[in-house]
Chain A
Amino acid sequence: MTVYILRRLAQTLLVLFVTALLVFFGLFLVGDPVEILVNPVADETERARASAALGLDKPIYEQFFIFLKNAITGNLGTSFVFGRSALEVIIERMPATLELAFLAMVIAVSLGVPLGIYAGLRPDSIAAKAIMAASILGFSLPTFWVGLLLILVFAVQLGWLPSTGRGPTVDVFGLQLSIVHWEGLKYALLPAINLALFKLSLIIRLARAQTREQVLLDYVKFARAKGLSKARVIGVHLLKNILIPLVTVIGLELGSVIAFAVVTETIFAWPGMGKLVIDSIFQLDRPVVVAYLLIVVFMFILINLAVDLLYSALDPRVRLAEAK
């Protein structure tokens, strides 16, 4: 088991190194940050000063080695635009993105699994057909458009919820969170629904497919024959078996929700990491983009590790490769 985890750790470091390499040189090829940032009136002395201040006067290979050297001590560079540590700028906005992603996943899972199971148990009922039709809309409508529509209907026309922004935050164990009280939650509802729509549709369809497959198997017949209540058959035995592929997908989707909530964050002016990274890409703020992608890659790796471990815990037939 320890060997397994150590091997995964080594793979992690390799992936992080390759990511840093790709992003560094990729952004270097796009353009010159000084040209974007410096005031167009600035003369040569001013441009040279800006270039030196941002460390851009050195050759690209030297810049990369300096970056690696600093990365080992945990310093992922200083943002060109903000003048502060890139890591600090990203972590400052992480709670906002994480709480939005968490709320979206809660909505998606808590609505998706029951609806999917229902649609799988009674596939020919009107309700099931309606659920499936809605799920098609859910993953084909573009997030951008749905978000604006939600704002138009619920904020502008009905006035039930605020249109944009993040609500007041409270201090929870040192983190600033807004969804723990209703004042902040009402700001998070629309963006969370917008973000959750795609995942919800995916989970409904997956849960339904899995349910239809599992409900025909012998153990379900056997459990009913034994006299177990319907709730126990579905809620304990069936659920555990359909969860396995569901957990894999949820893990992947959780990662993508945290990393790529850019569109939702931009529409709803939610001050999260996604909006920060898209702005940084346009401004060629390389340290922030590199730091962000490294954090995201690391997070995906962690989630994948958690999913693999959960997999082996859920399904006793599966053993982690090295444990044989």
Chain B
Amino acid sequence: MRLSGCLRAVVFSAALALALPAVAQDLVIGLSTPVTSLDPHFHNLSPNNNVADHMFDKLVHKDAKEQLKPGLAESWKAIDDTTWEFRLRKGVKWHDGTDFTADDVLATLKRIPTVPNSPASFATYTRPIKEAIAVDKATLRFKTERPHPLMPNDLVAIRIVQKKFAESAKTEDFNAGRALVGTGAYKFKEYVAGDRVVLERNDAFWGGKPAWKTVRMRMITSAPARVAALLAGDVQMIEAVPTADIAQLTKDSRVSVASAVSNRVIYLHLDSDRDKTPFVTDKAGKPLEKNPLKDARVRKAISLAIDRAAIASRIMEGQAQPAGQLLPDGFPGTSKTLTAPKIDQDAARKLLAEAGYPNGFAITLHTPNNRYINDEKAAQAVAQFLTRAGIDTKLEAMPSAVFFSRAGKLEFSFFLAGWGAETGETSSPLRALIATFNSQTGMGTANRGRFSDAGVDALLTVAMTNIDDTKRNLMLAAASDKAIGELQAIVPLHYEVSSWALRKGLTYTGRADQYTYAFEVRPGQPVDTARR
């Protein structure tokens, strides 16, 4: 029986009408790095954390500028120097309908250090908690050994799972989906390793009904293919837009670009500790009697010789903000007086002459070539600026797998690296990059230049024991002033600007922690926060 033409048209448009609302409520996102596990406590890796945040909540959440806001905990305060109290939100339900209580949090904290075979564990965040008590079903107290002012910041990394799964589930159970019961905006639907994660809406979410009925997160690691998928309409949003495409995408009427300055600073690390450093010689190639990088004036000269504005606009194509300290302005703990220095090659040469190197010297700059945005290109520009100022710089680039292994063994004298402050304030880079290396206390874990100054250490130690936010941030700012402004422990280059591209009609406020949250994607006009 053949349908007449008219009837066929009616049936077709009816089918289309039924199909459209469903399609409009689905969001497909193209991720740039693959997820390795769905167990929220197994591997502390950005893509894993990103997906986990859709299904699980933390006690404390972060907003787009990395400032703390209530999550599963409505409020928190330090009752004394070594005790924190968290009041939990009431009426929160797990995806299976049962109530969320303080016991779930306790079970989660117990599970984290025991996850087997973890390549990057979350135990660093739970270790400061000496004792965790549930005062009642909705109040928790954490006791610490020493004053721990960043307790709420650390708790942003801990996704809360249900007590029964925290006690019995293994990583395989999470990867298979059996244990993926959370309190978050989305429920787990499907996971195909290396390909996609599919989530569906949690209508009973405590934060209000989420916008999208289904979220498909597809892993497309090749940057051009990701852009092509967006332009073809196969995905509605992508992260990590390649810098070379941003100009073209901004002009394209089908898509819009959202950017935000991130918490990652790209900097140059210098060997300021050893008397004999492997990659510094005089211009003829003969070794020098002493290491010029130990002199703060030489480090300052290096900083002044570089044109950060040119690198940000030409090499990074606008996707970078010149940096004068460890975090962009406005982040807690930043100094109000430190700004990104403008290029001044004459001042640089004068400082070098004062330090005893009127003719400069020769140095090798090492850099990874596949880790940070345009890392090798930025390093090439740095090498050229320094050579112009009198320091003949040779460049050696290598894959990050080789680079970090060698850097960790202290094989380099001068190298480019990056640091993302996951706490959203400056104590993170100060402790990791500038504090004196101490394997017992965990200070200077990434201080591969082995910079050491007693004054900075003292400021840092006092700051980290101060529970009062305002006082602590002032002390951290003073520590930055001394470490970067006065002593130039490291040479900050720029802050990375992350960008997302969306089909017209969708909007996303870029996040400083570089996460891509489906529940923050809304219909409307995009806002570019990078310029503020």
Interface residues of A in 94-150 (CB under 8 A from B): 148
Q: How far is the CA of A41 from the CA of B150 in the complex (A)?
A: 14
The answer to the question of A218 belonging to the interface, with a C-beta cut-off of 8 Å to chain B, is no
Known A-B contacts A37-B119, A46-B121, A93-B194; the reply to A164 vs B445 at CB < 8 A is: no
The answer to the question of A152 belonging to the interface, with a C-beta cut-off of 8 Å to chain B, is yes
Q: How far is the CA of A188 from the CA of B131 in the complex (A)?
A: 55
Structural contact, A53 and B118, CB atoms closer than 8 A: yes
The answer to the question of B404 belonging to the interface, with a C-beta cut-off of 8 Å to chain A, is yes
B14 nearest CB across to chain A (Å): 22
* Interface size grouping (class) on chain B: 35 or more
Instruction: Determine which of B39, B119, B221, B442 lies in contact with A269 in the assembled complex, contact meaning CB atoms within 8 Å.
Output: B221
Known A-B contacts A43-B442, A163-B228, A284-B401; the reply to A81 vs B219 at CB < 8 A is: no
Structural contact, B171 and A31, CB atoms closer than 8 A: no
Q: How far is the CA of A163 from the CA of B228 in the complex (A)?
A: 7
Structural contact, A41 and B231, CB atoms closer than 8 A: no
The answer to the question of A84 belonging to the interface, with a C-beta cut-off of 8 Å to chain B, is yes
The answer to the question of B148 belonging to the interface, with a C-beta cut-off of 8 Å to chain A, is no
Q: How far is the CA of A283 from the CA of B118 in the complex (A)?
A: 15
Q: How far is the CA of A33 from the CA of B405 in the complex (A)?
A: 8
The answer to the question of A38 belonging to the interface, with a C-beta cut-off of 8 Å to chain B, is yes
Q: How far is the CA of A159 from the CA of B44 in the complex (A)?
A: 38
Structural contact, B194 and A282, CB atoms closer than 8 A: no
The answer to the question of A259 belonging to the interface, with a C-beta cut-off of 8 Å to chain B, is no
A250 nearest CB across to chain B (Å): 28
Interface residues of A in 33-74 (CB under 8 A from B): 33-46, 49-50, 53-54
Known A-B contacts A46-B124, A84-B172, A267-B222; the reply to A155 vs B228 at CB < 8 A is: yes
Structural contact, A156 and B44, CB atoms closer than 8 A: no
Which residues of A have CB within 8 Å of B432? 40-41
Which residues of A have CB within 8 Å of B232? 151, 155-156, 159, 162-163
Structural contact, A152 and B228, CB atoms closer than 8 A: yes
Q: How far is the CA of A81 from the CA of B118 in the complex (A)?
A: 8
The answer to the question of B439 belonging to the interface, with a C-beta cut-off of 8 Å to chain A, is yes
A41 nearest CB across to chain B (Å): 6
Q: How far is the CA of A119 from the CA of B400 in the complex (A)?
A: 49
The answer to the question of A275 belonging to the interface, with a C-beta cut-off of 8 Å to chain B, is yes
Structural contact, A156 and B222, CB atoms closer than 8 A: no
Structural contact, A83 and B171, CB atoms closer than 8 A: yes
A81 nearest CB across to chain B (Å): 5
Nearest chain A residue, comparing its CB with the CB of B233: A159
Which residues of B have CB within 8 Å of A281? 401
The answer to the question of B201 belonging to the interface, with a C-beta cut-off of 8 Å to chain A, is no
The answer to the question of A215 belonging to the interface, with a C-beta cut-off of 8 Å to chain B, is no
Which residues of A have CB within 8 Å of B196? 165
Subset of 29 A-B contacts with CB under 8 Å: A31-B402, A32-B408, A35-B405, A37-B119, A39-B44, A39-B124, A42-B120, A43-B124, A43-B439, A46-B121, A50-B118, A53-B117, A54-B117, A80-B119, A82-B36, A83-B116, A89-B193, A93-B194, A151-B225, A152-B228, A162-B234, A163-B229, A165-B220, A165-B229, A266-B222, A271-B193, A282-B370, A282-B400, A283-B401
Give the A-binding residues of B (Cβ under 8 A). 34, 36-37, 39, 42-44, 116-121, 123-124, 171-172, 175, 192-196, 218-222, 224-226, 228-229, 231-234, 370, 399-402, 404-406, 408, 419, 422, 428, 432, 439-442, 445-446
Give the B-binding residues of A (Cβ under 8 A). 30-46, 49-50, 53-54, 78, 80-84, 89, 92-93, 148, 151-152, 155-156, 159, 162-166, 266-269, 271, 275-276, 279, 281-284
Given A31-B405, A43-B439, A165-B234, 17 new contacts (CB under 8 A): A30-B405, A31-B401, A34-B119, A37-B43, A40-B445, A40-B446, A49-B123, A148-B224, A148-B225, A151-B232, A155-B232, A165-B229, A267-B224, A269-B218, A269-B219, A269-B221, A282-B401
